A and B are shown apart, each in its own frame.
Chain A
Amino acid sequence: MSAVIEKRPDTELAAIGGGGAPGLRSRLSNPWGKPRFLVATTWLYIAWALLPVLLAILFSFNAGRSRSVWQGFSTRWWWGDPVQSIFHDPDYTSALLQSLRLAALDMVIATPLGVLLALGLARWRGRGAGSANLLMLIPLVTPELVMAVSLLLVFTQITIVPFSLVHLGTTAQIVGQVTFSLSYVVVIVRSRLASIGKEYEEAARDLGATRWGALRLVLLPLLLPAILASMLIVFALSIDDFVVTQYMSGGYSTITIPMYLYANARGGATTPALNALATILVVATLIGIGAAYLLYSVLSRRTSTADPTALVELSLQA
């Protein structure tokens, strides 16, 4: 047996192994160590990203009128103040209602339309399939301003049906929102469709189902998580939407939460009730997304509910 094992000088070993002290160089070359700089950057970023939002939410509970200086805790802006709290002030409640109205209608129209479109695009063979697909992608790659401007022009400049039937206002807002929501529904449903594949329908038809039966009894139930998830995402997108909604608006009654926030964010006269309104927005959106994620992952049973990669996928597709 070999006798002497040559040991590297302790200092060098310590430097290499990163066992406890030395310089940045050894830290960097320690293959098993965690890069401290990256850890710090990441958590600093997270704080930077989230703290201002949390502060804004906190300020909605400010006892004073300021939105930038803390003056104590109070719920006056939420329900305490009989005149200026969000549930009493007609401006706020009107905005809240209009946002909810638009979101509901957007969901109800865009989702079925989008599911049909997804099915059609995914299985369309032949001429026109490529162009239809391209058409569907256009809203996803154009800045919202371009879309808003173009819709504004058609609704104000065109004097023939069907455009002349639509005046700026709630109807126009819905039309605009559905138009961009469609593409999101299609993307989400289509990707789920691709992972389901054709086998289940083929098996159903093999066992005697008609084409429509296979669709109704097999495909749609399998597609349900994606449909529900996209519906909730449409809700979230609609509630948060600003540009198109503003361009399509027609008067006081068509102001939504984002529009109200935009108009009043810089004013000196506004109170922390504005923050409360914004908080509602955030809570509604996060509930929507959380529900979408849960539904999607639980119903499709692909991942455990504790695995957020489905969440990332969902967000990326949107």
Chain B
Amino acid sequence: MAKAEARVWRWFALPGVFWLLLFVLVPTYAVLAVAMGRVDFLSQPVPAWSPIAWNTGYVSQAFSGALPGGEYWPAVRNTLVYVGASMLLCFAIGYPVAYYVARHAGRTKKLLLVLLVIPFWVSYLLRMLAWIGLLSPDGYVNQLLTSIGIAHPPDWLNGNAYSVILALCYGYIPYFILPVFAGLDRIDRSQIEAARDLGCTPFRAFWHVTLPLSRPSVLAGSALIVLPMFGDYYTNDLISASPRTNMLGNEINLFMQEGPEKYVGASLVLVLMAILMVGMAYYLYQTARDARRFA
């Protein structure tokens, strides 16, 4: 009886699964098919639906182009550098904030939480728009800089890598802070008290107990922001608009939106996925290890 009943539930999932098969699985295969396909006389891509007909030419071109020296290497390098740098920034700023709100905020905790959640839901584009206004040549940032004596403030919005890194950090940091906050909040207060009891100063208690125990949530927060950052192209377009600071996402976007060479775009998507797989593997490995340690 229970078995027949259990089987009924799967039919509930049917429409949703069907939708996902149609619009997630098939499209993923389509990317492969186009990347492994050919080009017709009009230079339009001809997808190769059967694996037998697959042509690895474009894909290997894309992968070799992504290596140092290749034509896509600058974009890949930029991506790795910008994502890495803004990740570090997010950690440097976000961890102390999450720590303070989780463990020391007391009466203001509720208010702070609401304030932390708000940027999470403010449109990414508005936040970038705000910075374009602030960083424009006549904007407040430059006004401030000139008022303290810097005669020629830098041009922030044209091919400036630092702007891009800062913008990425600004855009994604709320997504980092919340999971880290949740993890820090969860740490049992008596663990830290035990450390103090056994001879730790507040700092050492943090170092030996809080920090290790918060590692899984830092990892989760990092994964949460690194994944979308790798596919980001709009931040660069908005803040820098210069091919000098192009990320891998910009390259893909160029090929997909503007030219007929969609197969190059598709191949680059595969390159992107390959890079992500490495990150995902590391993340899954660490999570499994931590699960065993902390249970």
Are A and B in direct contact (Cβ within 8 Å)? yes
Q: Give the Cβ gap from B169 to chain A, nearest Cβ, in Å.
A: 10
**Cα separation A158 to B23 with both chains bound (whole Å):** 12
A236 proximal to B (CB < 8 A): yes
Q: When A68-B136, A117-B17, A315-B117 are in contact, do A278 and B230 touch as well, CB less than 8 Å?
A: no
**Cα separation A286 to B127 with both chains bound (whole Å):** 14
In the complex, the answer to whether A261 meets B262 with C-beta atoms within 8 Å is: no
**Cα separation A122 to B272 with both chains bound (whole Å):** 32
In the complex, the answer to whether B6 meets A125 with C-beta atoms within 8 Å is: yes
Q: Give the Cβ gap from B190 to chain A, nearest Cβ, in Å.
A: 15
In the complex, the answer to whether B10 meets A128 with C-beta atoms within 8 Å is: yes
**Cα separation A152 to B272 with both chains bound (whole Å):** 17
B12 proximal to A (CB < 8 A): yes
Contacts of B119 in A (CB 8 A): 49-50, 53
Select which of B113, B121, B231 is within 8 A of A309 by beta carbon: B113
Select which of A55, A146, A152 is within 8 A of B273 by beta carbon: A146
In the complex, the answer to whether B10 meets A120 with C-beta atoms within 8 Å is: yes
Select which of A38, A135, A151 is within 8 A of B17 by beta carbon: A135
**Cα separation A279 to B130 with both chains bound (whole Å):** 11
In the complex, the answer to whether A182 meets B16 with C-beta atoms within 8 Å is: yes
**Cα separation A129 to B11 with both chains bound (whole Å):** 11
In the complex, the answer to whether B117 meets A311 with C-beta atoms within 8 Å is: yes
A105 proximal to B (CB < 8 A): no
A20 proximal to B (CB < 8 A): no
Contacts of A116 in B (CB 8 A): 12-13, 15-16
**Cα separation A266 to B173 with both chains bound (whole Å):** 23
Max chain B CB contacts within 10 Å: which of A29, A142, A265? A265
Instruction: Name the residue of chain B whose CB is nearest to the CB of A67.
Output: B133
**Cα separation A135 to B28 with both chains bound (whole Å):** 11
Contacts of A279 in B (CB 8 A): 126
The total of chain A residues at the interface (CB under 8 A) is: 94
Q: When A50-B118, A116-B13 are in contact, do A38 and B96 touch as well, CB less than 8 Å?
A: yes
In the complex, the answer to whether A312 meets B178 with C-beta atoms within 8 Å is: yes
Q: When A119-B12, A178-B19, A309-B113 are in contact, do A266 and B123 touch as well, CB less than 8 Å?
A: no
Instruction: Name the residue of chain B whose CB is nearest to the CB of A212.
Output: B8
A114 proximal to B (CB < 8 A): yes
Q: Give the Cβ gap from A225 to chain B, nearest Cβ, in Å.
A: 18
Q: Give the Cβ gap from B11 to chain A, nearest Cβ, in Å.
A: 7
A123 proximal to B (CB < 8 A): yes
Contacts of B26 in A (CB 8 A): 154, 163
Q: Give the Cβ gap from A42 to chain B, nearest Cβ, in Å.
A: 5
Instruction: Name the residue of chain A whose CB is nearest to the CB of B233.
Output: A145
Select which of B7, B132, B138 is within 8 A of A66 by beta carbon: B138
In the complex, the answer to whether A68 meets B123 with C-beta atoms within 8 Å is: no
**Cα separation A183 to B121 with both chains bound (whole Å):** 18
Q: Give the Cβ gap from B166 to chain A, nearest Cβ, in Å.
A: 10
Q: How many A-B residue pairs have CB under 8 A?
A: 279
Contacts of A242 in B (CB 8 A): 124-125, 234
B179 proximal to A (CB < 8 A): yes
Instruction: Name the residue of chain B whose CB is nearest to the CB of A286.
Output: B121
B181 proximal to A (CB < 8 A): yes
In the complex, the answer to whether B104 meets A34 with C-beta atoms within 8 Å is: yes
Contacts of A59 in B (CB 8 A): 133
**Cα separation A309 to B109 with both chains bound (whole Å):** 10
Instruction: Name the residue of chain A whose CB is nearest to the CB of B45.
Output: A157
List residues 175-220 of chain B with CB under 8 A from any CB of chain A.
Answer: 178-179, 181-182, 196, 201-203
Contacts of B101 in A (CB 8 A): 42
Q: Give the Cβ gap from B100 to chain A, nearest Cβ, in Å.
A: 4
In the complex, the answer to whether B122 meets A157 with C-beta atoms within 8 Å is: no
Q: Mark A44-70, 1 if CB is under 8 A from B, else 0.
A: 011011101101100100000011110
Q: Mark A138-150, 1 if CB is under 8 A from B, else 0.
A: 1101111111011
A297 proximal to B (CB < 8 A): no
Q: Give the Cβ gap from A158 to chain B, nearest Cβ, in Å.
A: 7
**Cα separation A242 to B25 with both chains bound (whole Å):** 22
Contacts of A129 in B (CB 8 A): 10
A298 proximal to B (CB < 8 A): no
In the complex, the answer to whether A316 meets B121 with C-beta atoms within 8 Å is: no
A90 proximal to B (CB < 8 A): no
Select which of A124, A135, A144, A261 is within 8 A of B10 by beta carbon: A124
In the complex, the answer to whether B138 meets A69 with C-beta atoms within 8 Å is: yes
In the complex, the answer to whether B20 meets A182 with C-beta atoms within 8 Å is: yes
Contacts of B261 in A (CB 8 A): none
Top 10 A-B pairs, shortest CB-CB distance: A120-B13, A143-B231, A117-B16, A150-B27, A120-B12, A145-B231, A123-B9, A52-B130, A56-B130, A68-B139
Question: 8 A–B contact pairs at CB < 8 A?
Answer: A39-B104, A53-B119, A68-B133, A120-B13, A143-B272, A145-B253, A153-B31, A262-B125
